């Protein structure tokens, strides 16, 4: 018979993330310490109070809590208060019918004990009890499974919290990035408007033609259309953020620029310590333990169960005599019962729990692998975007100089207006690309924080 799989059968993580040797990582930082922007902190506070998904997770915890109480109650006797009444007419030619008829002629029967005929009532007021004595620990094992799933539901809430904080901060920094892109576009619109005015003056002086005016004007119109696009993206991002905050669309208050309020050091910590902080890993581990308990309870179901039933109350066939001291009735019955013909059904249930047990182990291993992969990817992305941003920054500086040089050369007749247009287009694209890379640095850092299980404490 298959044994429950244990956590020892799970995979082993490497000793370090990307050759880091520190014992603590940013995942252990509380989110109020990790994020410095007061506007972002206020948004996260609002999301943690109003987010619909988080409220749903809380109700799932309450459902799991009720399952724990249900499993705990199964260990105690079930006592029911009962008030019942009924009756029966026995056939005249049956043992009960003849016995009741003959009893009424007995000299030992007084008026109160005389049986009503032909319809015999039956009244009962009292308590009935049933109790399965947990001699093998089956019910305690089921209670353990329910309690472990309750803990897993709490980890599910932590997972929602971690993801929510990451989503809010991600959208916030995307908005800051789009604000910066909007400033770049507006700055270039001003420069290009000046270029259009200059080319018109050059045309009037005979140093340029209508084609040049049209080319500069077309470039300006294209840049102005980019401003409309970025405005729409800002609106969509604000609406998505408001949805996370559980409120209708409104303006998102924000300030500051990218590359501000970032931690000076980015460390991931030791994998075996940091990955276990992840709520999904903790939840998968608890689900594994709960499935182990379910499997053990399914095996214990093959053993005999000790059941005790009893009653205590007033029982009489005349309502007027129901609460007479002589109507007091009680009984107790205990017995062992073992499954015989339904063993196939129990065996099918055990097989199902065995499969669920193995599935839980695979889910646990997958959570570990996913966590390590996410941390590793985020660390590499932070490192590479930093290098990429340095090159892009140099590119922007060179192209900004090229715009000025091309303008000077055009005025002296050593460059064409097409070279000015190309230089202006290149510097706009490079500035937008630089801002995108800087935004990616923030998003990679947020993703690293989330993948290390930061934010739920």
Domain coverage including residue 107: 77-133+304-337
What distance, in Å, lies between the first and last C-alpha atoms of the chain? 41
Q: Give the mean model confidence (pLDDT) for residues 132-161.
A: 92
* Integer Cα distance of 315 and 112 in angstroms: 14
Return the number of other C-beta atoms located less than 10 Å from residue 17's C-beta.
24
Q: Do 219 and 243 share a structural domain?
A: yes
Q: Residue 398 is inside which H or E element, if any?
A: helix 343-411
Query: Same domain for 104 and 154?
Result: no
pLDDT value, residue 171? 95
Percent of the chain with pLDDT over 70: 92
Task: State the pLDDT at residue 206.
Answer: 81
Tell me, what CATH number does 88's domain have?
2.20.200.10
- Structure token pair of residue 12: 């082993």
CATH of the domain at 150: 1.20.1600.10
Do 330 and 394 lie in a common domain? Answer: no
User: Are 142 and 128 within one domain?
Assistant: no
Give pLDDT tens digits for 273-316.
677 889 999 999 999 999 999 999 999 999 999 999 999 999 99
Question: Do 237 and 313 fall within a single domain?
Answer: no
The whole-angstrom separation of Cα 292 and Cα 65 is 19
Q: What is the DSSP secondary structure assignment for residue 232, as one 8-state letter?
A: H
Q: What string of DSSP letters covers 264-291?
A: S------HHHHGGGSHHHHHHHHHHHHH
**What SS3 class is residue 107?**
coil
pLDDT confidence of residue 128: 95
What 3-state DSSP class applies to 448? helix
Instruction: Give the rounded distance of the alpha carbon of 45 from its chain centre.
Output: 18
Q: Which residues pair with 78 in a beta bridge?
A: 130
Work out the average pLDDT over 228-247: 95
Q: What is the pLDDT of residues 95-109, one digit of tens each?
A: 999 988 898 888 888
Mean pLDDT lowest for which of 144-148, 151-155, 210-214?
Answer: 210-214
400-412: b (≥16 Cβ within 10 Å) or e: eebbeebbeebee
Residues 282 and 327 placed together within one structural domain of the fold: no
State mean pLDDT over 331-343: 88
What's the pLDDT score for residue 265? Answer: 55
Answer with the residue of higher pLDDT: 234 or 415: 234
Centre a 10 Å sphere on the Cβ of residue 201 and count the other Cβ atoms it contains: 11
**Residue 22: pLDDT band with limits 50, 70, 90:** very low
Residue 1 lies in a domain: no
- Asked if residue 53 is part of any domain, the answer here is yes
In the Cβ-directed half-sphere of 155, how many Cα atoms lie within 13 Å? 19
**How many structural domains comprise the chain?**
2
Quote the percentage of the chain above a pLDDT of 90. 59
Instruction: Over range 203-219, report the average pLDDT.
Output: 86
Annotate 326-358 with b (16+ C-beta within 10 A) or e (fewer): ebeeeeeeeeeeeeeeeeeeeeebbeebbebbb
Predicted pLDDT at 68 = 92
Average of per-residue pLDDT values in the chain = 88
């Amino acid at each position: 018979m298959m044994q429950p799989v244990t956590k020892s059968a799970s995979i082993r993580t490497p000793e370090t993330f990307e050759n880091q040797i520190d014992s603590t990582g940013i995942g252990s930082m509380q989110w109020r310490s990790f994020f410095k922007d007061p506007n972002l902190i206020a948004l996260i506070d609002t999301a943690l109070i109003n987010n619909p998904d988080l409220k749903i997770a809380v109700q799932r915890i309450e459902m799991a809590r009720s399952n724990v109480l249900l499993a705990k109650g199964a260990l105690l006797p079930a006592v029911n208060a009962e008030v019942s009444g009924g009756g029966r007419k026995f056939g005249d030619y049956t043992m009960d019918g003849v016995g009741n008829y003959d009893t009424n002629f007995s000299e030992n029967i007084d008026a109160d004990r005389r049986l009503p005929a032909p319809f015999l009532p039956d009244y009962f007021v009292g308590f009935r009890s049933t109790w399965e004595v947990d001699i093998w620990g089956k019910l305690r094992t089921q209670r353990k499974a329910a309690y472990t799933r309750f803990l897993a539901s709490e980890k599910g809430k932590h997972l929602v919290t971690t993801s929510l904080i990451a989503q809010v901060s991600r959208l916030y920094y995307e908005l800051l990035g789009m604000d910066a892109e909007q400033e770049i576009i507006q700055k270039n619109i001003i420069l290009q408007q000046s270029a259009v005015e200059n080319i018109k003056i050059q045309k009037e002086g005979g140093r340029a033609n209508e084609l040049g005016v049209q080319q500069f004007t077309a470039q300006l119109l294209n840049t102005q259309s980019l401003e409309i696009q970025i405005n729409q993206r800002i609106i969509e991002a604000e609406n998505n953020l408001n949805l996370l905050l559980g409120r209708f669309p409104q303006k998102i208050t924000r300030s500051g620029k990218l590359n501000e309020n970032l931690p000076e050091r980015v460390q991931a910590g030791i994998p075996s310590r940091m990955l276990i902080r992840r709520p999904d890993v903790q939840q998968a581990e608890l689900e594994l333990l709960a499935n182990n308990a379910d499997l053990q309870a399914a095996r214990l179901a093959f053993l005999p169960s000790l059941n005790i039933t009893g009653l205590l109350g007033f029982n009489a066939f005349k309502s007027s005599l129901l609460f007479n001291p002589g109507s007091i009735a009680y009984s107790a019955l205990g017995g062992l019962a073992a499954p015989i013909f339904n063993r196939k059904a129990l065996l099918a249930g055990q097989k199902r729990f065995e499969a669920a047990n193995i599935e839980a182990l695979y889910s646990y291993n997958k959570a570990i692998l996913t966590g390590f992969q996410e941390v590793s990817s985020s660390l590499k992305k932070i490192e590479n975007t930093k290098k990429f941003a340095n090159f892009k920054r140099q590119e922007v500086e060179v192209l900004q100089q090229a715009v000025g040089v091309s303008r000077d050369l055009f005025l002296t007749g050593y460059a064409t207006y097409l070279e000015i247009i190309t230089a202006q287009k290149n510097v706009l694209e490079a500035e937008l690309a630089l801002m995108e890379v800087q935004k990616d640095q923030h998003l990679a850092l947020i993703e690293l924080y989330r993948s290390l299980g930061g934010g739920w404490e």
